[in-house]
Amino acid sequence: MEEKILEILKLVFELENVDESCAQVNCEKWDSLKHLELVVEIESAFNVELEPEEIAEMKSFKDIKRILQGK
């Protein structure tokens, strides 16, 4: 799961290197539009439907991992 999340972050934010420290506060390209793109990619890749509260909480790799583990 972790590798898949990192691949999605890399794809959405058009980054060459991504690690587990990736977060909204340290990724310049993480704006509201990219956040929605991230949600769509995660829902598709993991075949889940995220709740609005979960989408709002997704501010880092660790948040995404925690939310997906709860699904």
Q: Each residue of 50-61: pLDDT tens digit?
A: 999 999 999 999
Task: Give, to the nearest 10 degrees, the angle between helix 32-46 and helix 2-12.
Answer: 140
Query: Closest by alpha carbon to 67, among 49, 56, 52, 54?
Result: 54
What confidence tier does 36 reach under pLDDT thresholds 50, 70, 90? very high
CATH of domain 1-70: 1.10.1200.10
pLDDT single digits (tens) 7-18: 999 999 999 999
CB distance 48 to 71 below 8 Å: yes
The whole-chain average pLDDT of the chain stands at 97
What the block records as the tokens of 36 is: 């929605």
